[in-house]
Amino acid sequence: MNIHSIELRTIQLPLVRPFRTSFGTQTSRELLLVKVTDAQGVEGWAEDVAMSEPLYSPEYVAGNLDLIKRFLIPTLFSRSELRAEDVSELLSPYLGAPMAKAALETAILDVQLRSEKISLASYLGATKSKVECGVSVGIAPTIDQLLEEVASYVDAGYRRIKLKIEPGWDVEPVRIVRETWPNIPLQVDANQAYSRSDGDHLAKLDPYNLLLIEQPLDEHDILGHAGLAKKVKTPICLDESIVSLRAAEDALALEATTIINIKPGRVGGYIESVRIHDLCVERKIPVWCGGMLETGIGRAANLALAALPGFTLPGDTSASARYFKEDVTNPFVMNDGYLEVPQGFGIGVEPHMDFLEEITTSKEIVTR
């Protein structure tokens, strides 16, 4: 394909309720959307899942916008013809920024697959037409408010509950939720909030039959996670630590994890995500698809990935209504705890341009 132009659009989308984690509280979602148009006028969309501030990862929206304009787009434009499979290697001289690179690769892949009349699900190797839905529950102001929120998701049909935890908000909320719903699949996510010395405390979660404890320690502390895995019976799952296929190989070799959360933005795109999936299938390691409060654009692509055979645990592929009163695409609606995998060409969804214009805070089109 020959890229004609790349549009960079920043949007601000209010959340239906505040979402608090160990690193902060969000009341709205700022996102950088990328639209690639080829010489024939075919358009492809993707979203950069970086947050407004560098709290979850070093990347943030304004920084990625500058990086993409200053370095990544000129490098892409240096090629007269390009396929999505070439993007990662072409952009590799620029260190880091997997979310920015993933957005460009995915938008190019969307154009490519639309032109070839192939769905993203088919391209990635999906074997399922629908995906089990899990939901992520933020840290609540009180236990009663936590129970009220969890009850709303259980009643809606979600098949797995994930509780965000931090020191001071962990054992007690988990105990009460487990006692209230003895059989619901339940897991917790610490977002790096604990230290190596917290092993005995985290072991207090073992009686509650959790699926996993997600990323309890700093993302760079692979050895610490390996040590923690020997102290607690609950499986340790890595999220922020898994930034590439190599990182996954290293973590498994050190026995730092027995479950992996694959986030396409965090690992640099869907092509790298499939490589990690294939490694885990080979090693018999369960994987699931994490979420970054995506709009329908990112959610559609995540559903295509989560439909691969190795994704055996419900992910954070929630319905649109979990986060947004109005989505930028047709909303993803859960049916009996499942979301349908888009079957259209490319990512399989189209943005609602009128609504997108309403929530756009900046837009720039870079033409070859």
Please give the positions annotated as active site.
164, 263
Tokens for 149?
């929120």
C-alpha closest to that of 29 among 292, 240, 261:
292
Beta carbons of 197 and 189 less than 8 angstroms apart: no
Which strand ranges, in their side-by-side order, compose the sheet holding 236-238? 134-137, 160-164, 186-189, 213-214, 236-238, 259-262, 287-289
Positive or negative, the Cα torsion across 135, 182, 211, 22?
positive
Pairing of strands 259-262, 236-238: parallel
What is the rounded CA–CA span in Å between residue 215 and residue 225? 8
Place of tokens 């699926």: 211
**What is the Cα Rg of the chain in Å?**
20
CA distance 310 to 75: 34
**Gap between the Cα atoms of 19 and 17, Å rounded:** 6
